Amino acid sequence: MNINELLPQVPIFSTLEPEEVSYLRPFIEKKVFRTGDTVFDEGDPGDGVYVVAIGAVKAVKQIDAKHTQTLAGFLEKDFFGELSLLDGRPRSARIVATRDSVLLKISVEKFQEFMQQAPFSALKIISQIACHLALRLRETNRRLAELENYRLLHSSDPGADL
């Protein structure tokens, strides 16, 4: 696995020049997980962004004491946990390896160091994160509208709140 070749294929790093990718490399930590391992739990401190280099993981939300909901799956070249670079809030879901996986992590602290040393490159990454979050918000709004439409079509009281 050549990290310098992988990172430009990851959306949040796609605008970096080759020399910027090389400069970012020392700020990245490689982590290995076996199938079924938990990468982090819902409620854990947001400590960095992850990229799937090899393998696959899924995001799982605890609905109640007995039920969970899979929110998303992440495959090679996908990233997750990017909100922690922006707000440092606790994790909103548990991430579990669905295959043996190698993940690349940039911790909040390392990203802050990178921002101080290469602010223009860090701005490129943050800009890509913002674009990704905007796309995700639009998709969430679309799904919410579909659910509301379904509720209105199948509800005996169309004026009732969700």
pLDDT of residue 150: 86
- What percent of the chain clears pLDDT 90, i.e. is strictly above it? 73
Per residue in 117-142, pLDDT tens?
999 999 999 999 999 999 989 988 99
Write the DSSP assignment of the chain as a string of letters: --HHHHGGGSGGGTT--HHHHHHHGGG-EEEEE-TT-EEE-TTS---EEEEEEES-EEEEEE-SSS-EEEEEEE-TT-EE-THHHHH-PPPSSEEEESSSEEEEEEEHHHHHHHHHH-HHHHHHHHHHHHHHHHHHHHHHHHHHHHHHHHHHHH-S-TTS--
Name the band, by pLDDT with cuts 50, 70 and 90, for residue 157.
low
CA distance 4 to 11: 14
**pLDDT over 80 (residue 1):** no
Could you tell me the pTM of the whole model?
A: 0.86
Domains delineated in the chain = 3-154 (2.60.120.10)
For Cα atoms 52, 26, 134, give the angle at the middle one, nearest 5 degrees. Answer: 45
In this prediction, residues 50-76 reach a mean pLDDT of 94
